[in-house]
């Protein structure tokens, strides 16, 4: 194994080095770094040109410029990077730090979302193979996969920012709009739950009625400007989470675990009132994290004491339910502050930048600060997520289908296991092995490939740095981008290979 | 139905009670609360027509009381990074735009490139023609925002920072300037330490003397940061004490550069303009919000927060629509103009000319059909006759700027109406206004070249507009016996590229006007550094020499007429049009005015104010 890892590292380093030379050569030949000065009629034009030649070492041959850069970048190995300066004299080290930070924030969330949603959709469409749901997901996956990012982002800004801001100023939904929303929900839920035609029809009608009713009430009570969940919905959500965890593990028939789960929800209701002052105005993320930990611990404790002979599963179910409940309480509080945020920012969503209002000028509680960066994360995250969801759902679907058709699944079925157990315990886990490769790939891909998204939404991330560098034919920023994106790609690839070897013993030979 | 009822019950407790909608509306308006609108109504109206028949100077707003409103503007995604934008590393538009608001000087550019004095800042006067001597007097009220008076000390440092030979030159001093003032003003300025006046003596007559000096950086800060007393530095410059002056160069080069995009010590960036960086809100990667300079002795800024946003140009139009940026100067394309027009009443649009002009230049080098040895003047005339300039302007420029017209001069722009008309009547008789295919055929015959004549029009690709121009020219000139070849090339301007090698008969590009009087000399005089085609004419050389050594506007005007006429008669090249410019802004903001000058629309940002 060690030899395998070392060989991988050696190859990766070589790939990076060759790639950097290629990248450098391509960048400095991408245009004329003096372009803007050539048409200038300033009296000191020649001096300006000379100064830039000096600053960017344009008088050196390309290999000498490259070696100069490599000498500085090589120091990264001893953690003393010197990536040089950009055309306007900015220190690229510090430029890179902030850019990589912005990109990571943007990409982490969308990767996480894409994985969860993508895998979920993939599994569902594999289980409901050749159903209307499956076809719809396939259609949408291809649609999103082939979406031109630039166009989608601009459209999203038009609807998600400009029109949403107009609407939120005086939010009223027409009856038609409500009906359409309810219709979409009803179609989706009916398709996902499946069953016979009659069952689907009933699901459809019920969902339509519930959603239509809910939206009407929301509209009446001005929910769009002053939203909240309220205890009843939090409790409902907690119960749904409990059901989810039970289905994933032992099913509803295991009474002891079901009751300890219900007890967790009851404890949550008590905690809701006890911790209210803390949650309403927390001092920072520390408090929130601490509360989450307490919730998980309480859930685990309930599972331990009431779980009977299946303590481990009971602890998992109860702490999962407790965390979900805590999350809902947090969301409730976040929603309650939406109105205050609207007072600070009358048009809540801005089309550019990673914060709505400069932090130095922002005045408000913990939740207002979350909104300040949160609202700016929504639109770019949607774009990035939509694109990678497509891939994940397709890969998961085929991987799941392949697993379902294996002999051992047939064996599992024939010995009388329920669908739930077969899918969640036997099929899903094995089907997820190939997905690890894609996750690793995708993360590196997104980190480097968010150029367009970042540009359109005015984020100063790695992509923006790359683009600016390329526009100015300035190799410094482009190479800094390469150092991060290239390393991430090669490193993630390596991690995937190693993880694969760990997960699937058949590979390790 | 039961389900709906249950749902409604569950939802009943689910609205937060933080605010009522009414509160929110008033709170929104509260942001813009503040001051009475004291804009003089006459001036307000006169700016409505956006550049028509109005003065090109700033309007007089009368007494202005700064409100606490916010107006945002963006030049692009590059971030501000230097308070000293005069070094070769920091000289950029994005620094200049911000620095213009925190550093004022003796004069400013009007919207057509006219130089207007800032009387509140000080006065200047030419006291002698030979040698050219200019005396500057700084207003007694003029102070930096830290309370230090603005004095001759600051201007002495400006001069010293251009590495004058009398102080030992660049090697001894070590400044890294873009200005080359000390090659014109070679002797130490006459001044007294802490004095309010200084006198510059030029080695040679310089017609652009007026724009040589405007603002200055705070010498007392540079001195203190370099371990000197404020007066010590000025005295050292006056005494020619190279060693002491050289101590300042390191701070001057690097101390005012903020590569981490934050100002750690406010005291090193005092302001002499309407706004200041002291206490400014600088959010790295996002925006820089200037605040009013409390010590400013001129007309205070109208709006309390001027925010420069660092956003890529392609995001500007939507950001304007959503109110994220209030004033934008987007790329002048038909698309952006249409987009802004379609945004409705809340957004206003201004179009106009830029001081950048497109032209077709002939190649006079050996082997070119337009050189004197081959087709000569007749071939050039034939080409000029068939180029459909009117059609190019109509199809490509007027959709953006409806008032655009064909440009018939090189040194004066059509929007500098009076001077343009005067020079035009003396220099050009309208002979190439209409396309004349038959005339062009005859001229080609006269030139004695074999038709069809291959003409490569070189330009820097990709550039859709220039590609369209070449196509338009081709469709007309091919009829006259030319064979126009689109020689657009990404490497056109590069060293070793087509322009340098000479792989072109006609070059299509633009010169950005500098507002200087004598800056055209290297373009049109024999062996000039920017005379790419190798044009040579003794009379033109002579006229440029007279012009650039004369200080008399009358003489300069006369010489301009002579030059323009000769350039038409001998056909150096053909001017086509002035580039169009577009400004989009929140319609509730007053005093936003497009300017042709490269300072950009923020030239009068301190006057922008939202109507109440």
Query: Which one-letter DSSP state was computed for residue B480?
Result: G
* Burial of B8: CB neighbours in 10 Å, binned 0-12, 13-18, 19+: middle
Q: Which of A201, A182, A181 is nearest to A191 (CA)?
A: A201
Chain B CB contacts of A230 under 8 Å are 10-15
At residue B600, φ and ψ (nearest 5 deg) are: 80, 175
- The CA distance from B563 to B539, in Å, is 8
Identify which of B7, B92, B283 has the shortest CB distance to residue A360. B283
Query: Angle A136-A142-A147 (CA atoms, 0-180°, nearest 5)?
Result: 125
Cβ distance B520 to A41 less than 8 Å, yes or no, reads yes
Answer whether A172 touches B (CB < 8 Å): no
Cβ distance A336 to B16 less than 8 Å, yes or no, reads yes
- Rounded to the nearest angstrom, the minimum Cα separation between A452 and chain B is 11
Residues 10-49 (A) with a CB less than 8 A from some CB of B: 31-32, 34-35, 38-48
Chain B CB contacts of A372 under 8 Å are none
**pLDDT at residue B22, rounded to an integer:** 34
Q: Which residue has the tokens 């058709």?
A: A405
Cβ distance A226 to B491 less than 8 Å, yes or no, reads no
**pLDDT at residue B15, rounded to an integer:** 53
Express each pLDDT in B192-224 by its tens digit.
Answer: 999 999 999 999 999 999 999 999 999 999 999
Identify which of A51, A206, A353 has the shortest CB distance to residue B88. A51
CA distances to A216, A227, B1 from A219, in Å: 5, 10, 19
Cβ distance A358 to B286 less than 8 Å, yes or no, reads yes
At residue A343, φ and ψ (nearest 5 deg) are: -70, -35
Cβ distance B19 to A340 less than 8 Å, yes or no, reads yes
Chain A CB contacts of B2 under 8 Å are none
Chain A CB contacts of B510 under 8 Å are 39
Provide the sign of the torsion angle of the four alpha carbons B446, B451, B454, B455, taken in this order: positive
Residues 244-303 (A) with a CB less than 8 A from some CB of B: none
- The CA distance from B203 to B182, in Å, is 10
Answer whether A74 touches B (CB < 8 Å): no
Identify which of B4, B325, B460 has the shortest CB distance to residue A213. B4
- The CA distance from B315 to B74, in Å, is 10
Chain A CB contacts of B11 under 8 Å are 214, 217-218, 221, 230, 232-233
**pLDDT at residue B4, rounded to an integer:** 44
Encode B495-508: b = buried (16+ Cβ within 10 Å), e = exposed.
eebbbeebebbbbb
| Structure token digits, residue B594 | 């497009």
β-strand partners of B82: B257
Chain A CB contacts of B88 under 8 Å are 47-48, 51-52, 55
**pLDDT at residue A29, rounded to an integer:** 87
> Which is it for strands B482-489 and B506-512: parallel, antiparallel or unpaired?
unpaired
Q: Which of A312, A374, A311, A319 is nearest to A345 (CA)?
A: A374
Chain B CB contacts of A157 under 8 Å are 318, 322
Read off the pLDDT band of A12 (50, 70, 90). Answer: confident
Average pLDDT over residues A210-237: 90
Going by C-beta distance under 8 Å and a sequence separation of 6 or more, which residues neighbour residue B536? B364, B526, B527
| Structure token digits, residue A171 | 């939010």
Cβ distance B494 to A456 less than 8 Å, yes or no, reads no
- Rounded to the nearest angstrom, the minimum Cα separation between A364 and chain B is 13
CA distances to B64, B80, B316, B591 from B308, in Å: 22, 9, 12, 18
Cβ distance A226 to B17 less than 8 Å, yes or no, reads yes
Chain B CB contacts of A458 under 8 Å are 77, 311-312, 315, 319
Cβ pair B451, B479 in contact under 8 A = no
Spans of chain B, pLDDT less than 50: 1-13, 17-52
Q: What is the ipTM of this complex?
A: 0.80
**pLDDT at residue A449, rounded to an integer:** 65
Locate the DSSP E strands across B210-273.
none
Cβ distance B24 to A343 less than 8 Å, yes or no, reads yes
Cβ pair B369, B453 in contact under 8 A = yes
| Structure token digits, residue A362 | 């922002």
**pLDDT at residue B11, rounded to an integer:** 44
CA distances to A33, A58, A68, A481, B300 from A65, in Å: 14, 8, 5, 17, 49
Distance from the Cα of residue A207 to its chain's centroid = 28
Tell me the DSSP string of A374-441. Answer: HHHHHHHHHHHHHHHHHHHHHHHHHHHHHHHTSHHHHHHHHTT--HHHIIIIIIHHHHTHHHHHHHHH
**pLDDT at residue B31, rounded to an integer:** 32
Identify which of B10, B312, B516 has the shortest CB distance to residue A458. B312
Residue A6 predicted with pLDDT over 90: no
Read off the pLDDT band of A508 (50, 70, 90). Answer: low
SS3 B521: helix
Chain A CB contacts of B4 under 8 Å are 209-210, 212-213
What is the chain A residue with the closest CA to B2?
A210
**pLDDT at residue B23, rounded to an integer:** 32
- Rounded to the nearest angstrom, the minimum Cα separation between B127 and chain A is 25
Chain A CB contacts of B513 under 8 Å are 41
Q: How many CB atoms lie within 10 A of CB A69?
A: 21
Cβ distance B89 to A342 less than 8 Å, yes or no, reads no
* Burial of A360: CB neighbours in 10 Å, binned 0-12, 13-18, 19+: exposed
**pLDDT at residue A293, rounded to an integer:** 94
| Structure token digits, residue B171 | 């090697």
What global pTM score does this model have?
0.82
- The CA distance from B27 to B29, in Å, is 5
- The CA distance from A235 to A481, in Å, is 47
Chain A CB contacts of B91 under 8 Å are 48
What is the chain A residue with the closest CA to B284?
A98
Query: Which one-letter DSSP state was computed for residue B188?
Result: P
* Burial of B30: CB neighbours in 10 Å, binned 0-12, 13-18, 19+: exposed
CA distances to A261, B25, B32, B179, B609 from B35, in Å: 61, 19, 9, 41, 11
- Rounded to the nearest angstrom, the minimum Cα separation between A434 and chain B is 39
At residue A480, φ and ψ (nearest 5 deg) are: -65, -40
Express each pLDDT in B236-273 by its tens digit.
Answer: 999 999 999 999 999 999 899 988 888 989 999 999 99
Cβ distance B315 to A458 less than 8 Å, yes or no, reads yes
Residue A444 predicted with pLDDT over 80: no
Cβ distance B491 to A230 less than 8 Å, yes or no, reads no
- The CA distance from A350 to A369, in Å, is 15
Residues 349-368 (A) with a CB less than 8 A from some CB of B: 349-355, 358-361
**pLDDT at residue B378, rounded to an integer:** 93
Chain B CB contacts of A212 under 8 Å are 4
CA distances to A12, A13, A357, A488, A497 from A440, in Å: 15, 18, 34, 9, 9
- Cβ contacts below 8 Å, chain A against chain B, sum to 226
Among A35, A40, A90, which would you mutate to test the B interface (most chain B Cβ atoms within 10 Å of its Cβ)?
A90
Chain A CB contacts of B530 under 8 Å are 41, 45
Cβ distance B19 to A223 less than 8 Å, yes or no, reads no
Chain A CB contacts of B286 under 8 Å are 353-355, 358, 460
Answer whether A455 touches B (CB < 8 Å): yes
| Structure token digits, residue B486 | 């689109």
Q: Which of B204, B212, B198 is nearest to B186 (CA)?
A: B204
Cβ pair B282, B93 in contact under 8 A = no
Chain B CB contacts of A350 under 8 Å are 319, 322, 324
Q: How many CB atoms lie within 10 A of CB A255?
A: 9
Cβ pair B198, B136 in contact under 8 A = yes
| Structure token digits, residue B60 | 């007089």
Query: Which one-letter DSSP state was computed for residue A85?
Result: B
Average pLDDT over residues A416-436: 84
Q: Give the distance between the most distant pair of CA atoms in chain B.
A: 101
What is the chain B residue with the closest CA to A56?
B89
Tell me the DSSP string of B444-478. Answer: HHHHTPPSSEEEEEEEESS-HHHHHHHHHHHHHHG
Cβ distance A361 to B281 less than 8 Å, yes or no, reads yes
């Amino acid at each position: 194994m060690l030899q395998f890892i070392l060989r991988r590292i050696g190859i990766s380093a070589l790939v990076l080095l060759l790639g950097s030379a290629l990248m450098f050569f391509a960048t400095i030949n991408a245009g004329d770094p003096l372009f803007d000065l050539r048409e200038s009629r300033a009296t000191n034009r020649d001096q300006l040109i000379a100064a830039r030649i000096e600053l960017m070492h344009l008088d050196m041959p390309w290999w000498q410029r490259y070696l100069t850069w490599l000498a500085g970048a090589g120091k990264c190995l001893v953690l003393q990077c010197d990536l040089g300066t950009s055309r306007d004299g900015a220190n690229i080290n510090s430029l890179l730090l902030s850019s990589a930070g912005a990109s990571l924030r943007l990409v982490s969330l969308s990767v996480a979302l894409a994985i969860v949603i993508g895998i979920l959709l993939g599994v569902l469409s594999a289980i409901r193979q050749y159903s209307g749901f499956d076809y719809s997901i396939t259609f949408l996956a291809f649609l999103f996969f082939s979406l031109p990012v630039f166009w989608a982002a601009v459209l999203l800004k038009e609807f998600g920012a400009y029109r949403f801001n107009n609407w939120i100023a005086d939010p009223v939904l027409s009856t038609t709009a409500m009906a359409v929303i309810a219709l979409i929900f009803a179609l989706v839920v009916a398709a996902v739950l499946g069953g016979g035609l009659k069952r689907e029809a009933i699901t459809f009608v019920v969902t339509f009625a519930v959603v239509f009713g809910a939206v009407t009430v929301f509209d009446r009570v001005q929910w769009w400007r002053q939203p909240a969940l309220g205890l009843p919905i939090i409790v409902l959500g907690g119960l749904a989470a409990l059901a989810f965890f039970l289905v994933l593990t032992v099913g509803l028939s295991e009474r002891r675990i079901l009751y300890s789960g219900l007890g967790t929800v009851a404890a949550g209701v008590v905690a809701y009132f006890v911790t209210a002052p803390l949650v309403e105005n927390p001092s920072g993320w520390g408090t929130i994290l601490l509360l989450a930990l307490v919730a998980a611990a309480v859930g685990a404790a309930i599972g331990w004491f009431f779980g009977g002979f299946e303590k481990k599963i009971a602890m998992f179910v109860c702490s999962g339910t407790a965390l979900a409940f805590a999350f809902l309480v947090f969301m409730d509080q976040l929603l309650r502050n939406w109105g205050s945020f609207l007072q600070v920012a009358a048009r809540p969503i801005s089309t550019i930048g990673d914060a709505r209002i400069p932090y130095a000028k922002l005045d408000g509680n913990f939740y207002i600060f979350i909104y300040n960066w949160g609202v700016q994360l929504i639109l770019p995250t949607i774009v990035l997520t939509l694109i990678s969801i497509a891939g994940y759902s397709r890969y998961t679907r085929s991987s799941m289908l392949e697993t379902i058709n294996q002999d051992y699944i047939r064996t599992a079925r024939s010995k009388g296991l329920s669908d739930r157990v077969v899918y969640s315990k036997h099929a899903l886990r094995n089907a997820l092995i190939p997905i690890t490769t894609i996750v690793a790939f995708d993360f590196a891909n997104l980190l480097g490939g968010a150029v367009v998204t970042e540009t359109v939404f005015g984020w100063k991330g790695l992509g923006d740095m790359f683009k600016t560098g390329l526009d100015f034919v300035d190799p410094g920023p482009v190479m800094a981008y390469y150092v991060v994106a290239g390393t991430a790609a090669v490193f993630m690839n390596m991690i995937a290979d190693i993880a694969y070897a760990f997960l699937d013993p058949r590979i390790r030979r | 139905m039961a389900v709906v009822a249950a749902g409604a019950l569950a939802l009943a407790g689910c609205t937060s009670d933080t605010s009522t909608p009414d509160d929110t509306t008033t709170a929104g308006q509260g942001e813009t609360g503040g001051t009475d609108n004291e804009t003089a109504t006459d001036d307000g109206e006169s700016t409505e027509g956006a550049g028509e028949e109005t003065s090109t100077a700033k309007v007089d707003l009368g007494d202005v009381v700064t409100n606490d409103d916010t107006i945002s503007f963006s030049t692009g995604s590059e971030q501000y990074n230097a308070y000293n934008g005069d070094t070769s590393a920091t000289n950029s538009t994005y620094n200049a735009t911000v620095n213009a608001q925190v550093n004022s000087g003796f004069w400013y550019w009007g919207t057509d490139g006219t130089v207007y004095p800032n009387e509140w800042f000080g006065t200047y006067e030419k006291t002698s023609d030979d040698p050219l001597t200019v005396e500057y007097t700084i207003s007694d009220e003029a102070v930096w925002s830290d309370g230090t008076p603005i004095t001759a000390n600051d201007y002495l440092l400006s001069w010293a920072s251009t590495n004058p030979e009398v102080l030992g030159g660049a090697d001894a001093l070590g400044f890294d300037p873009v200005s080359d003032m000390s090659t014109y003003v070679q002797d130490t300025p006459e001044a007294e330490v802490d004095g309010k006046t200084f006198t510059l003596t030029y080695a040679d007559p310089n017609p652009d003397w007026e724009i040589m000096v405007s603002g200055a950086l705070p010498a007392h800060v540079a001195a203190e940061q370099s371990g000197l007393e404020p007066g010590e530095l000025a005295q050292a410059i006056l005494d020619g004490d190279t060693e002491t002056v050289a101590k300042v160069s390191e701070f001057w080069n690097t101390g005012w550069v903020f590569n981490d995009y934050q100002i750690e010590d406010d005291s090193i960036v005092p302001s002499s303009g309407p706004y200041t960086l002291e206490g400014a809100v600088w959010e790295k990667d996002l925006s820089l919000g200037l605040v009013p300079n409390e010590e400013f002795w001129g007309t205070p800024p109208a709006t309390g927060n001027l925010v420069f946003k660092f956003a890529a140009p392609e995001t500007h139009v939507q950001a304007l629509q959503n109110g994220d940026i209030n004033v934008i100067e987007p790329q002048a394309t038909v698309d952006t103009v249409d987009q802004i027009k379609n945004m409705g009443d809340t957004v206003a649009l201004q179009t106009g000319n830029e001081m950048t002009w497109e032209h077709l230049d002939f190649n006079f080098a050996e082997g070119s059909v337009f050189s004197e040895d081959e087709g000569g003047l007749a071939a050039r005339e034939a080409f000029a006759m068939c180029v459909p300039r009117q059609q190019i302007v109509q199809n490509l420029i007027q959709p953006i700027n409806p008032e655009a017209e064909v440009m018939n001069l090189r040194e004066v722009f059509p929007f500098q109406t009076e001077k343009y008309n005067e020079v035009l009547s003396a220099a050009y008789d309208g002979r190439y206004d209409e396309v004349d295919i038959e005339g062009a055929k005859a001229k080609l015959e006269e030139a004695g070249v074999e038709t069809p004549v291959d003409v490569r029009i070189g330009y820097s690709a990709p550039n859709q507009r220039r590609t369209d121009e070449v196509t338009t020219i081709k469709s007309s000139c091919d009829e006259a016996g030319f064979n126009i070849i689109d020689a657009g090339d990404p490497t056109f301007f590069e060293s070793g590229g087509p322009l340098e090698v000479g792989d072109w008969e006609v070059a299509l590009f633009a010169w950005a006007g500098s507002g200087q009087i004598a800056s055209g000399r290297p373009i049109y005089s024999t062996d000039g550094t920017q005379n790419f085609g190798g044009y040579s004419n003794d009379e033109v050389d002579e006229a440029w020499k007279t012009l650039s050594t004369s200080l008399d506007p009358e003489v300069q005007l006369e010489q301009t007429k002579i030059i323009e006429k000769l350039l038409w008669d001998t056909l150096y090249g053909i001017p086509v049009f002035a580039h169009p410019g577009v400004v989009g802004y929140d319609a509730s903001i007053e005093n936003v005015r497009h300017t042709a000058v490269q300072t950009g629309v923020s030239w009068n940002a301190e006057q922008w104010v939202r109507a109440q």
